[in-house]
Structures are given as structure tokens and as C-alpha cells.
Structure 1
């Protein structure tokens, strides 16, 4: 009787087929149940807020390129948004229209192996002349891993950007400058008191648009650029419909606190927009004296 019972029990695994696989599957299910119960208990004991609970939940992005949420007040988000600002200014700005980041609403980053870091930003901008705020801007900024400095790759859209119309103001300014008997020049914009005369404001904006190109090209994951000052500007002779200007601008690199002078030449008309035709970094200590005399429009 005992031998018969042992033989029957011994045959059960053969009938079942794959006892090890079944036992392994049951163990996984049990482990998942225990882990879910443990996480539930942990959330209850620690009283986690929504953000902390979200950190414990599975991330549904491509595991090859994990996404990381960024604090919108910190440098990584700010520098990515600033690069998007420079990109927007150079492609859509004019002497009558200059954009600044107004608010960063959401920011994240992903590290792409052997490529670089891509930032995803949701933000708004404010146009400085009209003070109008443009919502619903988004940008992807890719800082590539390169041995030499290369401009971040930017893909940026603002749904309501075109609602700010400055075409009439740009054409009026263009014809005004074209009919001036003398070339326009200026220095120290703003002045030592931080003031910008009304007649100098278009030159300040145009300098900012040109400087945006330089700041975009020079940006990386360790920089944060602003234009601080127009040291000098002088209108150049031009044989076509473009107005040309020679600038020396002072850029402030916020992270290192460096103040850097750049020389650039900028061409503009209302239909073709702004183009930086040449630019180069000036050695330190070369800008002790103004290069152009101040002359109002």
C-alpha cells in the first residue's frame, strides 16, 4: 500500500509537464503581489505626496532614453529655455520685436548614448516692445557630445508668435534710416544709468537679435548667456536693399560671470529679416575706448 502511494505521487510531476516553469511563474506572481503590497504600505506609512508617488511608478518612456523631469527654476531648464529664446529671436526678431522667456512651465531631459542630451521645454515668451505674452511655446534642444563647440540643435514652435505684428513699424523704421543724410551711430546702450533713449531702442533690439545668433551658437550645457551692453554700433555703406551695421556687444555668461566682447556685422530689411554676416570674439582688454561717436537718429 505504501509503495503504491509513493509511485502515484511520483507520477504527478510527469503528468503536469513542466513543474519547474510553473513553480517559477508562481514565484514571480507571488513576488509581484508582495512588492505591490510593500509599495502600498510604504506609501501609506510615509504619506508621500503626488510627486513622490509618481517617482515610484513605472516610467513609460523608451528605456533606452530615460526621461528626467527638471526643476523649472534651476540652471538646466533655464539654459535650455534661453537657447530656445536666442533661436526664436534670430529667426523671428526685428528692430521692433525682441523676445524674452517669460515663464518655464515644464522641463525634462533625456541622455542619448553617444549622442548627447536632449531637453524638452514648455514655456512662454514676452515681446519687449509691446509687453505682449505669447503662451504655448515648446522646444527640443539637443546638446551634442562633440570635441569642439557646436551650436545646440533647436526645434522650436510658438503657436501665437505671428499674432504680434510689427511689419508697419519695421517698414517705417527702414525707410526712416534709408533717408537719413548721415549713417547712424551709437555707443554705450544702455548708458551708465541703465537708460536707453527712445531713438536708440531699435539699435538696441537689432543688436540683441544679432547677439542672439552668437549666444545660440556658443551655448552648451555649462553656459547661460545674456546680452548686457552695446558698446558701439555704426551703420555701414550698403549697395543693396539691406541695411548693414557694425556692432561691438558685451555678453554676460552668467555661470562663469565672464563679460565677453564680440564684434559682429548685421544686415537687415523688413522682408528678409536679420542676418549676422560675420562675427568674432574680441581679446580681453581691447574695449577701453568707444569705437564710434554717439549720434542720435
Structure 2
């Protein structure tokens, strides 16, 4: 069977489409994400027309994915975690019909799974107000202007400012981020020193600096996948080194002026764990970056255990 024959489409409206690409991008099984307009009555609308609320369209993203690698249920879970599902007038500071939320299903199975996920969210009583996100049949999808595609990559600084200024970032942190205090309590002395106190473990005397097994590394606190051995190399520094992370949006980079130096610190976005630093002296054929990461900030999941530990979508990295 041709690979394209087993790919499916998922369409989500979650307010401004600039903010709905990065959560799904760079994940295994995701083959493409397009920002556009759907649900309305105007053919080939412009951005200005959609924002005027005269077209009936929603700002949305359409995702091409492999359900065998990244199931639709996982896409639904990620979708809910990006929005305020109780707001019928828009999302955060963006008001108007074009910023409403909706799941557009492409077949009966997607409809059933979407309705089930919405019912589970309602039953969880996570929010005091009703869940108003609509579940609608997919309609023609119109690709947005090129300047809106991959906006978070093309205009990263403005994107981050917009995401925070709109209130989306704060809402997600306050309503969707897990409390990891119990996980932090389970850390050993070195893990706590590194992740919670911005410490550094000794070089060449840590668990993964010379690892030769295939697998991925997850945040020791949150379990979020961060790096893969497919991007690991021996930099001669005594710490695990990588040319790139699995998903850049799962890392935060900050200026670090401690110890009389100017370095770029790397932290995990989900649990705010200190991981290490990134330098520009890595292999140029792979982009030139060297992510120098503390073993104590990571947990290694061997390739053979990915499926049983819930990371089966990453098996494709090793085929």
C-alpha cells in the first residue's frame, strides 16, 4: 500500500491559527499542517474577509497524519489542551465568529471519537462552565495566504509575544499544565540538583554520556519526549550531546549569565526542568547546534520498550 493511502486528515479550529500549528508540528506521524479557513459559505476567502465575520468561516488547521503512528485520539487530546472550550465568543483576546472553536470530523469514526472526548471532558468537571466547542462535519478547506503558514517559525519572536499577549499562554499554564510536585519529590539528589537547582553533573561520570543503545530520552519529571539517540553524537565533552531536540516547542531557551559566562540555557517547557545548554559548535552538516544535556535531567526509554511505555509513535525513528 502506498504510504499516502493510509494518511488521514484532521481539522481543528482553535482560535487564531498561528497558535494551532506548533503543538502538532514535528511529531512522529504528522506529515503536514496547513493553516486555512473552513466552515463558512464564501469560496476562497481572504484573511481580511474571514476576520470581518461575514464569511461564516473559522480560522483552522488541517493536519495530514498517519493514524497507525499518531492516533486521532492523541490529536484530540492535544487539541483540547490548546483552547478554552467554554468560550463561545472567540478565544482569549481574539473575539468574533472566526475565532470560535470546533472539531471538523472527516468520517463517522472521527465523529464518534470527538464526541467521546468532549463527553469525557465534560464529565471530568475540569471547567465550571459548559463545553461549547462544536463537533461539525468537515466542509471545504481553503488554504490561507502564505504569510500565515508556519507563522511560529517565520516570525518566532512576534509569535511568542502574541501568544502570551493574547492570554493563551497563561490560560494553558493555569488550566492544562499538570502539577509535578509529586514527581519532583521522587527525584534522587543529583536529579533534583540539576532539574530544580540549575545544577550540572560531573562530565564522564553520568549515565548517558556514552550511551550506544537506540531509544529516546524523556524529561525525568514530566515524561515528555525530548531527544533521540538518532540525533546523539560524541562531542567529547562528557555529557550527552544532540544536534537537535525531537520537538523544539517542548524546550525553552533562556540567556544564562551565571558563573561569569553568557550561555543559552535549555529548559523543558512542560515541567520547567533545567536540562543543560545549547551551543553553536555542533556538526555544521546537521545545523551547527550542540545540545549539551545533563543525564540526570533525562530518563532513557530503549527502543524495545517504547510501545509498552506509551511512546510507540517514536518507533518509526529507528526503522
Q: TM-score, normalised by structure 1?
A: 0.29
| Larger radius of gyration between Structure 1 and Structure 2 | 1
Q: TM-score, normalised by structure 2?
A: 0.28
> Which protein is richer in strand relative to its size?
1
